[in-house]
């Protein structure tokens, strides 16, 4: 009691460590608890990604310019637009996959829960754990179904067989694949159908326990039935994850997404190059029923692209 009533400034370790905190060391930035930025609009979820005037270059070539948009938690955000307008390029910025491309450079702001993803102190490997990616062509490893899903958790240190079994079952269940594969977990993933392989890749991503799942045209190699299953799956997953999907299929964007970003490309006739840009970003029903920009209207009504 006596100590509490004195007027001596609090010099306890915790108070000192706040006031004289060293800058976060390499990789620590993303280890802090995720604090969501509250949205200004009441019915919008918290902002997960805040993209501000983003530009992406491949060496001297500016592939995309001036992209600004916000991705909200537990929503599906779709990127649509003609081929070559930069949808994949922008998507790859969200988990720093562009780091792996020689000559690729990103400028402008890209904040993930308020943390600049391109801050020098941010560890790209940690970023990719939190922000998983599913690719256009299903890319299972040439391993068993079980080992595909257990791959990430094993690397991350989940070694106990019982725990791994639980992670594998849970991820396969969430990816709507468990019932189809539970009796052949030891069989090669290469023997699965394309649709099953893509759900396996989704299970593999989920098993890494990400917050966000990026999907780049995940259905483009699939038949309509497998596509419908993946679309249903996305709807189920969005209560647990935030999803950003690139699709060339406008009907798919209209069916599954909450918000849609329409990109196009401007042509520079002098250099015969094209730069992608974001034309319009809004709620999906608005984009498809009453877009603000004539270019969006022409695209969604099929008059262009
Ligand atoms: N690895 C790369 N190196 C150089 N240019 C690239 C690379 N990837 C994409 N581009 C160029 O960037 C532009 C946008 O491509 P991309 O993002 O793939 O468009 P989309 O996904 O909308 O079809 C295109 O002009 C493309 O040629
Ligand atoms: Mg693409």
Q: Is residue 12 part of a domain?
A: no
> What pLDDT is attached to residue 155?
84
State which of 83, 86, 220, 248 you would mutate to test the pocket of ligand 1, scoring each by most atoms of that ligand within 8 A of its C-beta. Answer: 86
User: How many residues would you count in the chain?
Assistant: 305
Q: Is residue 267 part of a domain?
A: yes
100 ligand 1 Cβ < 6 A? no
Q: Is residue 143 part of a domain?
A: yes
Helix or strand or coil: residue 181? Answer: helix
Ligand 1: atom nearest CA of 274 is 25
Q: Cα(110) to centroid of ligand 2, in Å?
A: 20
Q: Is residue 157 part of a domain?
A: yes
CATH code at 137?
3.40.50.300
- Please tell me the total count of domains within the chain: 1
Q: Which two tokens stand for residue 198?
A: 């893509």
CA nearest to 144, candidates 135, 154, 134: 154
169 touches 178 (CB < 8 A): yes
Residue 204 neighbours by CB under 8 Å, 6+ apart = 140, 148, 149, 151, 152, 171
Rounded Cα distance between 174 and 299, Å, is: 34
> What pLDDT is attached to residue 157?
81
Q: Cα(94) to centroid of ligand 2, in Å?
A: 14
Residue 78 belongs to what domain range? 45-300
Residue 203 neighbours by CB under 8 Å, 6+ apart = 148, 149, 171, 172, 174, 175, 177
Q: Cα(216) to centroid of ligand 2, in Å?
A: 7
> What pLDDT is attached to residue 3?
42
One digit per residue, the tens of pLDDT, for the chain of length 305 reads 444 444 434 434 343 333 344 444 444 556 555 566 666 666 788 999 999 999 999 999 999 999 999 999 999 999 999 999 999 999 999 999 999 999 999 999 999 999 999 999 999 999 999 999 999 999 999 999 999 999 988 888 877 888 999 999 999 999 999 999 999 999 999 999 999 999 999 999 999 999 999 999 999 988 899 899 999 999 999 999 999 999 989 999 999 999 999 999 999 998 889 999 999 999 999 999 999 999 999 999 988 65
Q: Is residue 19 part of a domain?
A: no
Q: Is residue 199 part of a domain?
A: yes
Q: Where are the alpha helices (DSSP H) in the chain?
A: 2-5, 13-19, 87-93, 124-130, 145-155, 161-174, 178-181, 194-207, 224-237, 250-256, 284-289, 294-300
Answer positive or negative: Cα dihedral of 247, 253, 260, 234: negative
Q: Is residue 39 part of a domain?
A: no
State which of 57, 79, 84 you would mutate to test the pocket of ligand 1, scoring each by most atoms of that ligand within 8 A of its C-beta. Answer: 84
89 ligand 1 Cβ < 6 A? yes
148 ligand 1 Cβ < 6 A? no
Q: How many CA atoms lie within 13 A of 46 on its CB side?
A: 12
Ligand 1: atom nearest CA of 58 is 4
Q: CA angle 165-168-173, nearest 5°?
A: 125
pTM across the whole model? 0.87
Q: Cα(57) to centroid of ligand 1, in Å?
A: 10
Q: Which two tokens stand for residue 282?
A: 């809004």
> What pLDDT is attached to residue 35?
61
Give Cα separations from 303 to 127, 195, 290, 296 (angstroms).
39, 31, 15, 10
Give Cα separations from 186 to 53, 61, 204 (angstroms).
47, 46, 15
Q: Is residue 206 part of a domain?
A: yes
């Amino acid at each position: 009691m006596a100590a509490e009533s004195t007027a001596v400034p609090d010099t306890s370790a915790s108070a000192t460590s706040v006031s004289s905190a060293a800058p976060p060391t390499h990789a620590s930035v993303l280890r802090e608890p995720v604090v969501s930025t509250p949205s200004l609009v009441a019915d919008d979820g918290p902002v997960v990604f805040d993209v501000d005037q983003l530009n992406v270059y491949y060496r001297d070539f500016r592939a995309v310019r001036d992209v600004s948009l916000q991705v909200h938690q537990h929503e599906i955000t779709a990127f649509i637009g003609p081929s070559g307008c930069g949808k994949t390029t922008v998507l790859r910025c969200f988990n720093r996959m562009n780091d792996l491309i020689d000559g690729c450079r990103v400028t402008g702001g890209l904040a993930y829960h308020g943390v600049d993803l391109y801050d020098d102190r941010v560890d790209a490997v940690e970023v990719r754990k939190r922000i998983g990616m599913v690719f256009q062509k299903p890319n299972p490893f040439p391993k068993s179904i079980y080992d595909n899903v257990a791959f990430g958790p094993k690397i991350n240190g989940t070694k106990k067989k019982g725990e791994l079994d639980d992670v594998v079952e849970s991820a396969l269940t969430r990816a709507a694949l468990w019932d189809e594969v539970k009796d052949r977990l030891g069989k090669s993933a290469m023997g699965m159908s394309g649709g099953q392989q893509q759900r396996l890749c989704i299970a593999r991503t989920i098993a890494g326990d990400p917050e966000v799942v990026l999907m780049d045209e995940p259905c483009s190699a699939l038949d309509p039935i497998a596509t419908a299953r993946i679309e249903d799956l996305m709807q189920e997953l969005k209560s647990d994850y935030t999803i950003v999907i690139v699709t060339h299929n406008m009907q798919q964007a209209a069916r599954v997404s909450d918000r849609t970003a329409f990109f196009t490309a401007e042509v520079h006739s002098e250099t015969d190059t094209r730069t992608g840009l974001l034309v319009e970003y809004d709620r999906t029903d608005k984009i498809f029923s009453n877009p603000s920009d004539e270019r969006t209207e022409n695209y969604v009504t099929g008059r262009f692209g």
